[in-house]
Structure 1
Amino acid sequence: MTWSPDTPYDGLPLLPPRGELESRRVLKATIEARDALARFDARARALPNPTVLINAIPLLEAQASSEIENIVTTTDELFSAAVADVSATPAAREALRYRSALRCGYEQVGRRPLTASTAAEICAVIRGHDEGFRRGEVFIGDPATRRRVYTPPAGRETLERLLDNWSAFLNEPIDLDPLVRMAVAHYQFEAIHPFTDGNGRTGRIMNVLMLCDAGLLHLPLLYLSRYIIESKDEYYRLLRLVTSEGAWEDWVLYVVEGVRATSLRTCELVDKIEDVQDSVLDAVRSVVGSANHDLVALLMEQPYARSLDVMGRCGVSRPTAAKWLRGLVAEGTLHELRVGRQVLFINQSMMSVLTA
């Protein structure tokens, strides 16, 4: 079936694609990307407190992935809302659901195969309700001209056939590098477009889960959405070229380079976070009189913290918690912010690193 942007692409070819996927250029790129990814994975696993990354990076990914869909919130809004939910804007709440969806998906890795059902569960968390797979026709339009640029497949039987094939491709034992498999699967998922909304965010979560499922990542910490934001036009251009011309090599190279570049960038982020942790430890020693590692861990894991959090984590009274926090404010490590009836204490250095 010839592809046309104005009619449902019911003839979307099944996976795996015909022709060579692992060209010489692709194989060279996957070697470099997997080396960078392995270095990042080892770096993250070696952290004394990996919870710092587990809390921070999914929020950054949530913000960036939502931004691709024009759901714009700030890093400060997100970290504040994660603690004081009453202050959350609708955009922040939607981004926080992305983080919840990522965690929900990660909990399934290793317990059962990744399939279209996994994607449906993730999309339901992202959207806040479960609509299941779409039944009607949708189309993707150019924001400027409002003309159709792509019409995904339509019809229940067609979607079921394509999603069953996609699920099988994720799990069948084929001799294909996991990064290449991820790139191919991501294109196909976006081309199927199985939901009325949330396809992009669901697809980006599935990317990370595929890497975890393949054993290339031990924690869901690859921050790929920022790479897509920085090259958004190229991302959509290459997706369209696969559809119109079967240009798989350039698409796979783009995705593999995203893994490489993001791995290196996130390694640098880890280094900066460790520097902040050292400075917070010094400040806590000065204010508290000892290296209270529970307090340090809390301030790193929750850059927006409350007295109540300190009381629970450190097992101290409210006056003691308030004394410590205000001492760290006076010392310049924390910034005090009132949000509604709550007082939040912000780890400024950590937020500066995360918002850089």
Structure 2
Amino acid sequence: MNVPPLPAGQWAPVPRLPGIPEALLREGAYLPPPLPSDLPLPAATHRLVAEAEHALGRLDEAAARLRVRSGLVRATQVRDAQASAGLTGVLIGLREALAADLLAGRGDPPVDRSAPEQLLSPYLSAYDHGLDRVRRGAVVDAGLVGEMTAIMTGRPGLGLRDLLRREPGVLGVRPDRPYLLTATGAHLVAQLEQWSTWVREEDEQPRLAKIALAHYQLEVLQPFPTANGHVARVFSMLEMVRCGLLRDQVLPLSVWLDDTLPEYEERIRAVVDTGRVHDWVGFFARAVRDQALAQLRLVGHLEELAERYARLLPRTGKLPEVAAALIGFPVVDHRAVRDRHGVTMKAATDLTRRLVERRVLVPWDFRDYRRVFVCRDVLRLLADDPDTTALP
């Protein structure tokens, strides 16, 4: 099938920018063409999109059966926030990220601005805000994307136009390897409005293919001076929920994109250079398919682990209940056990002691001498098990 490429974009001259290669300065800042209302895709790309949508459906059904679905959702959000923090050069381990989220949920933020709670909280708050708005019927357009950007950058309530970039932008996570300059000015405002209109329109395009196209366009528009890499990712997640591919945030897409970041950047640049957007759609569909299948395997392993704990522990009392909850919430402290399971602090202390004795939990002294307890079996599945990771 002979697939027509996207029309060529426009290039605008840019002033000299420190640290930018001469070739990019000569090329100028890119302004993409508007997205077409209808874009034919090759049969091979349609197959990849169908496989990805099927994998999402299987994942959604498996997650719904999981006893601690809410824990899977939160772990996915923390992993995505961890990846988003990594885009800004802040590396936080998953154990630290889960412990930080546990403590941040107490409503007692730390004074230290570099604390993991402070670094992850804006992303998690943005996810919660976006999901709440979508569930109340909002469209994932520039307005909602702007609201989430304001939260992620610590400026909640700021209007969209006040958030927009006013200087040429630079794409490329590594500062020593930028791969595209992006345009600004009135054209940016008009293109963002066109993007919103395109996203809201109903058409015959497969849902995931449309999400992939909108993701690409949002990436190269780079509408905001900060948080742009996170914005396209969180848009994709929310749109999957809004259009019914998923019921909740159970796909850590950012994790896969981080693992393939050099190829991700190459694919974006290739669309700019060639207009062959179907190659990008295929790449995006493979990412979603592979991550959904990895997450599906994760759910299966978590169910097996829950069964193993059930065989290991007494069948009655609070102990098996606490152990079952660890499948979704693998980092706890005495207070979390008390509040989650309705027991006294003394009983919570005794329950964690017994789980430590059975090697279900291990103690860990988190920051400021705060003792938390970690279920290593679950952490290994979330972060280190090759069977639950979509390796590129």
Normalization by structure 2: what TM-score?
0.82
C-alpha change, 1:96 and 1:21, in structure 2 (3 Å) is farther
Q: How many percent identity over aligned positions? A: 25
Partner secondary structure for residue 140 of structure 1? strand
> d(CA) in 2 for partners of 1:147 and 1:40?
36
**Correspondence 1:347 to 2:370:** no
Q: Aligned in 2, Cα 1:317/1:144: closer, same or farther, shift over 3 Å?
A: closer
Are the structure 2 counterparts of residues 54 and 230 from structure 1 closer, same or farther at C-alpha, using a change threshold of 3 Å?
same
**Per-residue displacement from partner, 1:204-260 (whole Å, max 9, x unpaired)?**
011011111111111111111122122211110110111122121111100011111
* Alpha-carbon distance change, 93 to 307 in structure 1, aligned in 2, over 3 angstroms: same
* Structure 1 residues 227 and 17: alpha-carbon distance in aligned structure 2, compared to 1, 3 A threshold: farther
Q: Letter of the 1:28 partner, please give it.
A: R
Query: Contact 1:138–1:151 at 8 Å: present in 2 too?
Result: yes
Aligned residues: 351
> 1:257 aligns to what?
286
Give the conservation status (yes or no) of the 8 Å contact 2:301–2:381: yes
User: Is this contact kept in 2: 1:283–1:333, CA < 8 A?
Assistant: no
Aligned CA distance change for structure 1 residues 282 and 258 (closer, same or farther; 3 Å): same
* 1:297 CA displacement: 4.7
The residue correspondences of 1:65-104 to structure 2 (distance < 5 A) are 65-85=84-104, 86=110, 89-90=114-115, 93-104=118-129
Taking the TM superposition and a 5 Å limit, the aligned residue runs for 1:1-356 are 2-3=10-11, 5-6=24-25, 7-10=28-31, 12-16=32-36, 20-85=39-104, 86=110, 89-90=114-115, 93-110=118-135, 111-130=137-156, 132-140=162-170, 146=176, 149-155=179-185, 157-285=186-314, 289-290=316-317, 292=319, 294-339=321-366, 340-356=368-384
Once the two structures are overlaid, the 10-residue window that deviates more, 123-132 or 246-255, is 123-132
Name the amino acid aligned to 2:199: L
RMSD (Å) for aligned C-alpha atoms = 2.4
| 8 Å contact kept, 1:36–1:264 | yes
For 1:140, the aligned partner's letter is V
CA distance in 1, matches of 2:63, 2:256: 19
Change (3 A) 1:217 1:336: same
Shift, 1:291, TM fit: 5.8
Q: Cα offset for 1:159?
A: 2.1
Mapped partners of 2:172, 2:262: distance in 1: 12
* Cα distance change of structure 1 residues 91 and 189 upon mapping to structure 2, 3 Å threshold: farther
The residue type paired with residue 73 of structure 2 is: I
Q: CA deviation at 1:2?
A: 4.4
Q: Is the 8 A contact 2:68 2:325 kept in 1?
A: no
SS of 2:215 mapped into structure 1 = helix
Say if 1:144 and 1:208 are closer, same or farther in 2 by CA, change over 3 A.
closer
Contact 2:63-2:299 at 8 Å conserved across structures = yes
Specify whether residues 255 and 201 from structure 1 end up closer, same or farther in structure 2 by C-alpha distance, changes over 3 A only. Answer: same
Q: Does the aligned pair in 1 maintain the 2:171–2:182 contact within 8 Å?
A: no
Q: Is the 8 A contact 2:68 2:327 kept in 1?
A: no
Which structure 2 residue ranges, 5 or more long, are not aligned?
1-8, 13-23, 105-109, 385-392
Contact 1:62 1:99 in 2 (8 A): yes
Displacement of 1:176:
0.6
Unpaired runs of at least 5, structure 1: none
CA offset at residue 153 of structure 1? Answer: 2.1
Give CA-to-partner distance per residue, 1:127-146, whole Å, 9 cap, x none.
Answer: 22246432411331667785
CA change 1:140–1:151 in 2 (3 A) is: same
CA contact (8 A) 1:15 1:166 kept: yes
